[in-house]
Structure 1
């Protein structure tokens, strides 16, 4: 598979999580990579685990058909969330204790990529449920520039 783009980027990421009326906001400023492979554009970076200090890989895959995938991995957990505008997608949250089925409902999805200068944004609003129970509402706002 030929690489047609591979750039280092600066990333600003905000995540807002709402669970049972409680709101938590996370902000990350980091560097990563923007890579074009086949039918997808990949945004890759490492997130530091505040408890262990370990850097864990995170990947957003933006497919040409509009689908966005988010993959996060730690030693014990692997999460792959698939976002499609106004769709519900079944997924699995893999933990050290087993697999938990989840449903991802994407309520808002916007991606924008600019070539001059290389920059872009992702806006994703989604809801996670398992067994009919709401786990939380999430908002991701990611901006990047080369």
Structure 2
């Protein structure tokens, strides 16, 4: 399976508590799973309004850290978030007005992947922090399978 791209089905459930309001987003999309060296990559698109989409790339490093990149070219919005279980990491949110430097604090993370048949789960509970203030609490639940 080394360096091979495998077609998978991706189900993502995201809960966000921000400014006193809870929102939920559910995504079911086809995606691609790739192993390169000791890293794992999961790539898929998030369908948006007006036949548009955002590209999402999830990377799981050899030591279990998770990198999450989301880019929506039509809206000029992108983010690069890093997660280390029970630790704080730098994050960048790119807008049409410039780059906002933020932090994530990963309260809990879990990665489980089995090969026969290929199936996986990635859970991340985190806070998004700007200027030492928590701007949102997030629950990221992703399941993929062939």
Give the Cα separation in 2 of the matches to 1:34 and 1:82.
19
TM-score, normalised via structure 1 length? 0.93
How big is each residue's C-alpha offset from its partner over 1:4-55, in whole Å with a ceiling of 9 and x where there is no partner? Answer: 33210011110000012210011111110001112311110011122x4212
1:64 aligned residue: 62
How far off its partner does 1:74 sit?
A: 1.4
How far off its partner does 1:3 sit?
A: 4.7
Counting matched residue pairs gives 144
For 1:1-146, list aligned pairs within 5 A.
3-50=2-49, 52-75=50-73, 76-146=76-146
Please give the root-mean-square deviation of Cα atoms over the aligned residues, in Å.
1.4
How big is each residue's C-alpha offset from its partner over 1:46-76, in whole Å with a ceiling of 9 and x where there is no partner? Answer: 11122x4212210000111111100001121
Give the Cα separation in 2 of the matches to 1:141 and 1:48.
17
Dislocated runs of 4+, deviation >6 Å: none
Structure 1 unmatched runs, 5+: none
Give the Cα separation in 1 of the matches to 2:135 and 2:22.
13
